[in-house]
Structure 1
Amino acid sequence: MPSLQEQARDEAYASAPIGAEPRSMVELYATGFDVPLFFLAGVEDDTPVVLEDGTTVTALACAFRFTPPGADKTGPTPAKLGVDNVSGKILPYLKAATGAISVTYRAYLGDDYGTVVDLIEGLKLKRATVAAATVDGELSFEEIATQAFPRRTYDLDTYGALWNA
């Protein structure tokens, strides 16, 4: 059964004007990249797009497959990203990445690249397999359970009540 978010997304896509099919864009960023990379599927030329904060960036035309994260009877399922013709566009950046690659997914309807209709942030590329001209990767959210909480050092200067006098 689809989640409320998936139902809302499907309803928005179904109620779109005729001919305004969803266009997917992914943003990749890692330490070692000069700037984030933006890839837009379903277009032939590099295209200027507007992000949710109003910033305009140029998205490179690139064929890719994106499966959003979900859940089934066994629990959460990871998102998946597959990029074709990787040798020319992405491989140099993958080699330059010195840390985890952060992935943000955005969707636009039709040729309206000024309004983000779907946004999935906080994904990390966990595993990637590189074939001759294709990269397939598994994306997941950061594991919150393994992070320290709160990220604060309890000392006497900040928390005077810790002093047992």
Structure 2
Amino acid sequence: MFGSCGSHSDDDETEDTKVTESDKKETEKESEKAEKVEKESEKEEKESTETVAATPQDNTVYGKLTEPHDAEKSMVVINGTTYLLGDTDNILQAEKSFGKFPVDRNIDKEFLNQHARDYMADDAEFVSNISDIKQKYHSKSLNKDYYVSYVLGDKGQVLSVIISSLKD
């Protein structure tokens, strides 16, 4: 009499074990799904920030000229820099003149490079020498090229540096 009431059968334990293992598997699956969704979300977020092109900085080539100037002119000189402007005051080219103090390009390479970079995106990198007086740079954030040229005087000294969006 007492044998059947209080005893557990092996079938009951197997069912309990099956439920527990089933619960574990389902929890693992849900956990894997959540991780997958999170990874996909991170990937989409990263891709969306990468595909959004950066906006050119003001007062640099490809950017807007924000210095006060005559809006009706396509060429403007401000503080020794001549800007060639497009239709919406975007800068197509900037020419920095060294006036009465020409620069020796062999001695002052870093000085010239820094002046050229002042008119480019911060991430612009040197790509190649096109010629002895012309170089190409590229900005990954803008996906734009810059062409840097030196205007030389009679003695080979740099009179000005031109930073342009125009290839020639």
What TM-score results when the alignment is normalised by the length of structure 1?
0.23
Q: Bigger relative contact order, structure 1 or 2, given CA contacts below 8 A and separation 6+?
A: 1
Which structure's residues are more often helix, by fraction? 2
Which structure's residues are more often strand, by fraction? 1
Structure 1 or 2, whichever has the larger Rg, is 2
What TM-score results when the alignment is normalised by the length of structure 2?
0.22
